[in-house]
């Protein structure tokens, strides 16, 4: 479980969010929506252990990988995609075919540099890199915001598979409310300084039952 208890998040003395209690379980996709500047990224960074909470505690029973809107900022431009992925892999011999199938990344792109692939292809390489580290949790921060609808659908399918087949717990942050509703098992919403279950969005679970 990835859990936050009584967490406060912010960049100064005044918290952006406080009293955050949140759980992401294995195999579950939890959506997070909220206004621009509401603190979604700040919270995700605290959950990923990249920043410290102002108050409270984050507990996580495994590796966490974070995926961002712009993979160009997180992938080293001097390395081929293969090398970027290799250095994050838990296994020394990467099963490239299996990994690329999972991430929907064409094998033929592996020896290219980031500047030689499209944004959508690079996002898939970033996913492959994250999956190579066998994370128990994926924090997806607006990871589809710069992608076309077809690539968005492919990326969401990949994330869904990581949850269903590998048991990854996912926090899926997006401005795209229908997308969040369609791919999440439940949705949380930032309301002022609080994080609460969303009442506005129906989720895929609710739609299926
Ligand atoms: N490193 C930082 N130092 C100071 N203030 C910051 C820092 N990072 C973010 N902020 C501020 O904290 C607030 C919340 O930012 P955050 O990026 O968490 O919001 P968000 O909900 O992810 O927004 P968006 O949906 O627009 O991406 C904003 O007012 C932002 O300007």
| ipTM of the complex as predicted | 0.96
Within a domain: residue 56? Answer: yes
**Same structural domain for residues 118 and 180?**
no
**Same structural domain for residues 145 and 49?**
yes
pTM of the model: 0.92
d(CA 4, CA 2): 7
Q: Which atom of ligand 1 is nearest to the CA of 42?
A: 18
**Same structural domain for residues 145 and 195?**
yes
Eight-state DSSP code of residue 185: S
**Same structural domain for residues 58 and 145?**
yes
**Same structural domain for residues 127 and 144?**
no
Whether 33 and 183 have beta carbons less than 8 Å apart is answered as no
Give pLDDT tens digits along the chain (209 positions).
999 999 999 998 889 999 999 999 999 999 999 999 999 999 999 999 999 999 999 999 999 999 999 999 889 999 999 999 999 998 778 999 999 999 999 999 999 999 999 999 999 999 999 999 999 999 999 999 988 999 999 999 999 999 999 999 999 999 888 999 999 999 999 999 999 998 776 666 655 55
List the CATH number of the domain containing 160: 3.40.50.300
Q: Which atom of ligand 1 is nearest to the CA of 190?
A: 21
Where does ligand 1 bind, in terms of residues with CB under 6 Å?
A: 11, 16, 34, 36-42
Q: What pLDDT score was predicted for residue 37?
A: 93
d(CA 107, CA 69): 23
**Same structural domain for residues 141 and 203?**
yes
**Same structural domain for residues 104 and 80?**
yes
Within a domain: residue 71? Answer: no
Among 112, 135, 158, where does a domain finish? 135
Within a domain: residue 170? Answer: yes
Within a domain: residue 67? Answer: no
**Same structural domain for residues 19 and 42?**
yes
Within a domain: residue 128? Answer: yes
Residue of 7, 36, 39 to test ligand 1 pocket, by largest number of atoms within 8 Å of CB:
39
Among 135, 154, 171, where does a domain finish? 135
Within a domain: residue 23? Answer: yes
Distance 95 CA to ligand 1 centre (A): 38
Q: How far is CA 114 from CA 82, 109, 160, 185, in A?
A: 10, 10, 25, 33
**Same structural domain for residues 131 and 40?**
no
Q: Which atom of ligand 1 is nearest to the CA of 142?
A: 27
State how many domains the chain has.
2
Residue nearest to atom 1 of ligand 1 (CA): 11
**Same structural domain for residues 116 and 200?**
no
Among 101, 117, 135, where does a domain finish? 135
**Same structural domain for residues 188 and 86?**
no
Q: Which atom of ligand 1 is nearest to the CA of 9?
A: 18
Within a domain: residue 22? Answer: yes
Rounded (10°) CA dihedral 100, 45, 167, 188: -120
Within a domain: residue 70? Answer: no
Domain residue limits at 120:
76-135
């Amino acid at each position: 479980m990835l859990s936050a208890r009584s967490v406060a998040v912010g960049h100064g003395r005044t918290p952006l969010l406080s009293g955050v209690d949140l759980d992401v379980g294995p195999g579950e996709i939890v959506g997070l929506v909220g206004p621009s500047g509401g603190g979604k990224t700040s919270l995700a960074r605290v959950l990923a252990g990249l920043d410290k909470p102002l108050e409270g505690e984050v507990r996580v029973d495994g590796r966490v990988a974070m995926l961002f809107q712009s993979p160009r900022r997180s992938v080293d431009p001097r390395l081929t995609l293969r090398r970027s992925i290799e250095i994050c892999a838990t296994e020394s011999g990467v099963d490239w075919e299996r990994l690329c199938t999972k991430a929907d990344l064409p094998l033929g792109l592996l020896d290219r540099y980031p500047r030689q692939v499209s944004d959508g292809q690079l996002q898939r390489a970033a996913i492959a890199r994250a999956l190579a580290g066998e994370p128990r949790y994926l924090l997806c921060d607006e990871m589809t915001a710069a992608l076309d609808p077809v690539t968005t659908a492919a990326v969401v399918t990949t994330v869904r598979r990581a949850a269903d087949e590998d048991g990854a717990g996912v926090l899926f942050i997006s401005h795209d409310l229908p997308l969040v509703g369609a791919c999440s098992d439940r949705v949380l919403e930032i309301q002022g300084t609080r994080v609460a279950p969303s009442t506005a969005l129906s989720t895929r679970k609710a739609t299926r039952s």
